[in-house]
A and B are shown apart, each in its own frame.
Chain A
Amino acid sequence: AQSVAQPEDQVNVAEGNPLTVKCTYSVSGNPYLFWYVQYPNRGLQFLLKYITGDNLVKGSYGFEAEFNKSQTSFHLKKPSALVSDSALYFCAVAYNQGGKLIFGQGTELSVKP
Chain B
Amino acid sequence: DTGVSQDPRHKITKRGQNVTFRCDPISEHNRLYWYRQTLGQGPEFLTYFQNEAQLEKSRLLSDRFSAERPKGSFSTLEIQRTEQGDSAMYLCASYGLADYTDTQYFGPGTRLTVL
Contact = CB atoms under 8 A, between A and B. Distances in A.
Interface of A: 4, 32, 34, 36, 41-46, 49, 51, 90, 92, 97-98, 100-106
Interface residues of B, number: 26
Contacts of B111: 41
Nearest to B109: A43
Contacts of A4: 42
13 contacts: A34-B103, A41-B111, A43-B4, A44-B43, A46-B103, A46-B106, A49-B103, A90-B42, A97-B97, A101-B104, A104-B42, A105-B42, A106-B42
Given A34-B103, A105-B40, 14 more contacts: A42-B108, A44-B43, A44-B91, A44-B93, A46-B103, A46-B105, A97-B97, A97-B102, A100-B45, A100-B48, A100-B56, A101-B33, A101-B104, A103-B43
Contacts of B41: 105-106
Interface of B: 4, 6, 31, 33, 35, 40-45, 48, 56, 91, 93, 95, 97, 102-109, 111
